[in-house]
């Protein structure tokens, strides 16, 4: 009992440690999860009898169902306006091309007989949200590419699992006639059950949430149970149809506008991180280094073939004639990591093949190699794409080197001036304001601006946040600023959202203050309010960009502009990094930096370093 408790606790601790390391180093978490899993499996023996095979695989299947449901919740139909054709091609012709090439590679490089090679090829057409989502978080590619990758990675999982089932039916069929009938029946049942059950469940749950038939504190757990019941019920009627059902269910809930599901999405995201962290360690711990080593150079060559032959050919051939540019297609060719779905599906089918009636010893031996091969592919693809995808995206100008850009909630004249300075320095900016005149003037100044409420769902969905990693809520209304900060803490993290200090901060009574969860750090030196900045500008202050040098540092700046100058931001010498000045994080005044500040107008002509 004690040993088992230590083992389970260690899995949780290793999983979260891997996530923290990945965040700190800016690398995909799967790399560390796999490493910890292999090391744990090699040097720490799993307690015997702790989780029986008959229990472990159902637990893995349910976990995968929850992960795919959460992935479906992130898919918006509007994204298909630009990405729809490419996604459809990749999930149809792309699947067939990938399968055919992977099958050939498995047969000629690994020596698998055609049936098992075909099954392996079908399994390896999947990518999945478990590896795509962490990579997208690191890469931050352009909006259209991100939509294609996200949709393909989630939708292709149930397609790949079903495709693998079809190949399995053919491999294990007694006659060709029965195999053909089984394939047709499997396709019809999977699609019909997945679409029907997923849509009906989505409609019913939406009605229940809309009418408040489920209390708020039970909604997240209620949805978790619904997903489990849906998956189990559909899968019992048709194997692997459950994955399609829960994906459709998630997409339905994400695109309906009658019931609020934001809090459910946040719960599922947290649950996904926990499930991924434990599943990868548990499953990779079941594969030994010896099994991987036994694959030899053939296993390495097979993985390389998938990366340099199968993926590029499937992308370029299937997306021919779509709106995607050559650069976008090239990037898609360099992003196809395999994840937990491939591992889980392989484990199930390998076990079935090993126990198939009338299977020869050679057949069973090849079936036993499926799991090590897939884990070698997972390790190889995650490692390669994890390190190469970001540089490739940067090389193709499909991602920003750093997410230093600023989203401004508000587009008042001084905000537009500040945004214009950043834009001229190559820092991405975007402005959102409800005032049409402010938005029009921002656009006339060449700035990307959107009219609308920044907490509106439709506005958020339409924003292109490529290269943008922080929010500055700078409207005259403190409540609007607080709501914007609360909303975008989910997108950028709480450490990257700021709102102007309210006008009456010192005098505001405790009962009049906005709740702590709506609070955000106050930007700029001295924590000025909107009214303070407007008053200074009305009294002759102006925004000024000043280069820091050995001759002109903080002391010279203060001497020239006096104590009334307010430092707002600092652009690094490389022109990429942007530091927001706050009370907790004052300007560093490093040589080569450019300081953006509010300074008295009558002093600005004396600054030879001003630009």
pLDDT tens track for 138-157 = 777 877 888 888 888 888 88
Banded model confidence at residue 606, pLDDT cuts 50, 70, 90: very low
Give yes or no: residues 359 and 390 share one domain.
yes
Count of domains in the chain?
2
Could you say which DSSP state residue 574 is in? T
Given this model, what pLDDT does residue 43 score?
A: 67
Answer yes or no: are the C-beta atoms of 341 and 283 closer than 8 Å.
no
Given this model, what pLDDT does residue 307 score?
A: 93
Domain final position from 361, 395, 429: 395
pTM reported for the whole predicted model: 0.77
Given this model, what pLDDT does residue 55 score?
A: 66
Tens-digit pLDDT profile for residues 518-550: 678 888 888 888 889 888 888 888 888 888 888
| Distance separating alpha carbons of residues 263 and 272, to the nearest angstrom | 14
272 closest CA partner among 88, 448, 72: 72
Give yes or no: residues 517 and 431 share one domain.
yes
Answer yes or no: are the C-beta atoms of 453 and 434 closer than 8 Å.
yes
Mean pLDDT of 510-525: 68
Banded model confidence at residue 105, pLDDT cuts 50, 70, 90: very high
Given this model, what pLDDT does residue 102 score?
A: 93
Give yes or no: residues 7 and 140 share one domain.
yes
State yes or no: pLDDT of 289 exceeds 80. Answer: no
Query: Which residues are CB-neighbours of 131 under 8 A, at least 6 positions away?
Result: 28, 30, 153, 337, 338, 339, 340, 382
Distances (CA, A) of 164 to 303, 390, 422: 19, 31, 51
Give yes or no: residues 129 and 254 share one domain.
yes
Q: Domain limits at 575?
A: 405-506+513-606
Position 327 in a domain: yes
Phi, psi for 275 (deg, rounded to 5): -65, -45
Interior angle at CA 449, CA 443 and CA 453, nearest 5 = 140
Tens-digit pLDDT profile for residues 475-488: 988 888 888 888 88
Give yes or no: residues 284 and 430 share one domain.
no
Could you say which DSSP state residue 67 is in? H
By three-state DSSP, how is residue 498 classified? strand
Domain final position from 395, 424, 453: 395
Position 334 in a domain: yes
Answer yes or no: are the C-beta atoms of 338 and 374 closer than 8 Å.
yes
Given this model, what pLDDT does residue 103 score?
A: 94
State yes or no: pLDDT of 411 exceeds 80. Answer: yes
Strands 566-571 and 578-580: antiparallel
Position 100 in a domain: yes
Given this model, what pLDDT does residue 98 score?
A: 93
Which helix or strand (DSSP H or E) is residue 308 part of? Answer: none
State yes or no: pLDDT of 310 exceeds 90. Answer: yes
State yes or no: pLDDT of 301 exceeds 90. Answer: yes
Given this model, what pLDDT does residue 137 score?
A: 75
Q: In what order do the strands lie in the sheet with 578-580?
A: 541-547, 594-600, 566-571, 578-580
CA atoms within 13 A on the CB side of 431: 32
Q: Give the residue, 577 or 511, on which the prediction is more confident.
A: 577
| Distance separating alpha carbons of residues 66 and 12, to the nearest angstrom | 18
Give yes or no: residues 331 and 452 share one domain.
no
Crossing angle, helix 143-172 and helix 80-90, to 10 degrees?
Answer: 30
How many CB atoms neighbour CB 559 within 10 A? 10
Banded model confidence at residue 603, pLDDT cuts 50, 70, 90: low
Position 189 in a domain: yes
Given this model, what pLDDT does residue 314 score?
A: 93
Q: Provide the CATH number for the domain around residue 463.
A: 3.40.50.720
Banded model confidence at residue 611, pLDDT cuts 50, 70, 90: very low
Give yes or no: residues 123 and 75 share one domain.
yes
Q: What is the overall mean pLDDT for the chain?
A: 82
342 closest CA partner among 179, 123, 529, 585: 123
Could you say which DSSP state residue 259 is in? S
| Distance separating alpha carbons of residues 595 and 588, to the nearest angstrom | 10
Position 127 in a domain: yes
By three-state DSSP, how is residue 529 classified? strand
CA gyration radius for the chain?
A: 28
| Distance separating alpha carbons of residues 190 and 242, to the nearest angstrom | 8
Give yes or no: residues 391 and 409 share one domain.
no
Banded model confidence at residue 425, pLDDT cuts 50, 70, 90: confident
Give yes or no: residues 296 and 422 share one domain.
no
Given this model, what pLDDT does residue 106 score?
A: 92
Strands 594-600 and 541-547: antiparallel
Answer yes or no: are the C-beta atoms of 548 and 593 closer than 8 Å.
yes
Mean pLDDT of 413-437: 90
By three-state DSSP, how is residue 480 classified? helix
How many CB atoms neighbour CB 388 within 10 A? 13
Tens-digit pLDDT profile for residues 42-61: 666 655 555 555 566 777 78
Domain final position from 364, 395, 426: 395
Position 9 in a domain: yes
320 closest CA partner among 81, 153, 82, 90: 90
Tens-digit pLDDT profile for residues 212-244: 888 888 888 888 899 999 999 998 888 878 888
| Distance separating alpha carbons of residues 471 and 9, to the nearest angstrom | 37
409 closest CA partner among 464, 480, 468, 469: 480
Position 400 in a domain: no
Position 611 in a domain: no
By three-state DSSP, how is residue 7 classified? helix
Banded model confidence at residue 388, pLDDT cuts 50, 70, 90: confident
Give yes or no: residues 390 and 413 share one domain.
no
Answer yes or no: are the C-beta atoms of 345 and 65 closer than 8 Å.
no
Give yes or no: residues 387 and 413 share one domain.
no
Given this model, what pLDDT does residue 355 score?
A: 67
Answer yes or no: are the C-beta atoms of 66 and 268 closer than 8 Å.
yes
Region at 357 (left for phi over 0; alpha for psi -120 to 50; beta for the rest): beta
Strands 405-409 and 594-600: unpaired
Q: Provide the CATH number for the domain around residue 375.
A: 1.20.1530.20
143 closest CA partner among 389, 488, 461: 461
Give yes or no: residues 319 and 439 share one domain.
no
Q: Give the residue, 263 or 15, on which the prediction is more confident.
A: 15
Could you say which DSSP state residue 603 is in? G
């Amino acid at each position: 009992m004690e040993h088992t408790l230590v083992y389970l606790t260690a899995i949780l601790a290793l999983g979260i440690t891997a996530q923290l390391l990945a965040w700190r180093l800016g690398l995909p978490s799967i790399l560390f999860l796999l490493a910890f899993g292999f090391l744990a499996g090699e040097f720490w023996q799993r307690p015997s009898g702790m989780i029986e095979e008959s229990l472990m695989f159902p637990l893995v299947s349910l976990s995968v169902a929850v992960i795919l449901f959460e992935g479906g919740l992130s898919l918006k139909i509007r994204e298909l306006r630009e990405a729809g054709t490419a996604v459809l091609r990749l999930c149809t012709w792309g699947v067939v091309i990938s399968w055919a090439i992977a099958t050939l590679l498995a047969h000629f490089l690994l020596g698998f007989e055609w049936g098992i090679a075909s099954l392996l090829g079908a399994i390896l057409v999947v990518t999945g949200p478990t590896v795509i989502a962490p990579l997208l978080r690191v890469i931050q590619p352009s909006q259209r590419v991100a939509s294609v990758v996200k949709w393909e990675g989630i939708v292709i999982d149930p397609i790949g699992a079903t495709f693998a089932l079809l190949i399995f039916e053919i491999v294990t069929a007694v006659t060709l006639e029965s195999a053909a009938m089984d394939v047709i029946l499997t396709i019809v049942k999977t699609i019909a059950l997945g679409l029907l059950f997923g849509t009906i469940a989505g409609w019913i749950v939406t009605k229940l949430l809309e009418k408040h038939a489920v209390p708020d504190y039970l909604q997240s757990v209620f949805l978790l149970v619904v997903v489990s019941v849906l998956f189990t019920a559909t899968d019992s009627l048709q194997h692997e149809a459950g994955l399609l059902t829960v994906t459709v269910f998630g997409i339905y809930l994400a695109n309906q506008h009658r019931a609020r599901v934001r809090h459910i999405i946040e719960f599922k995201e947290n649950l996904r991180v926990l499930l991924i962290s434990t599943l990868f360690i548990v499953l990779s711990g079941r594969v030994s280094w010896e099994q991987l080593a036994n694959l030899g150079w053939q296993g390495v060559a097979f993985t390389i073939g998938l990366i340099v032959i199968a993926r590029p050919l499937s992308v370029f051939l299937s997306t021919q004639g779509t709106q995607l540019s050559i650069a976008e297609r090239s990037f898609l060719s360099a992003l196809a990591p395999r994840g937990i779905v491939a591992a889980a599906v392989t484990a199930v089918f390998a076990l079935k093949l090993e126990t198939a009636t009338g299977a020869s010893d050679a057949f069973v031996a090849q079936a036993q190699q499926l799991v090590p091969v897939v884990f070698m592919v997972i390790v190889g693809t995650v490692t390669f794409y994890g390190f190469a995808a970001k540089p490739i995206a940067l090389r193709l100008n499909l991602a920003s080197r750093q997410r230093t850009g600023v989203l401004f909630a508000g587009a008042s004249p001084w905000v537009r001036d500040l945004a214009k300075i950043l834009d001229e320095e190559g820092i991405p900016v975007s402005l959102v304001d409800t005032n049409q005149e402010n938005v029009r003037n921002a656009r006339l100044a060449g700035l990307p601006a959107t009219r609308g409420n920044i907490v509106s769902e439709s506005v958020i969905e339409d924003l292109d946040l490529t290269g943008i990693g922080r929010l500055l809520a700078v409207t005259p209304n403190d409540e609007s600023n607080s709501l914007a900060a609360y909303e975008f803490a989910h997108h950028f993290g709480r450490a990257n959202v700021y709102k102007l200090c309210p006008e009456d901060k010192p005098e505001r009574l405790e009962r009049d203050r906005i709740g702590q969860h709506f609070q955000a750090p106050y930007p700029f030196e001295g924590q000025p309010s909107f009214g303070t900045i407007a008053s200074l500008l009305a009294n002759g202050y102006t925004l000024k960009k000043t280069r820091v040098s050995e001759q002109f540092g903080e002391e010279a700046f203060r001497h020239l502009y006096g104590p009334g100058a307010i430092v707002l931001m600092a652009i690094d010498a490389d022109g990429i990094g942007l530091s927001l000045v706050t009370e907790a994080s004052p300007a560093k005044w490093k040589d080569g930096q450019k300081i953006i500040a509010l300074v008295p107008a009558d002093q600005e002509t004396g600054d030879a370093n001003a630009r």
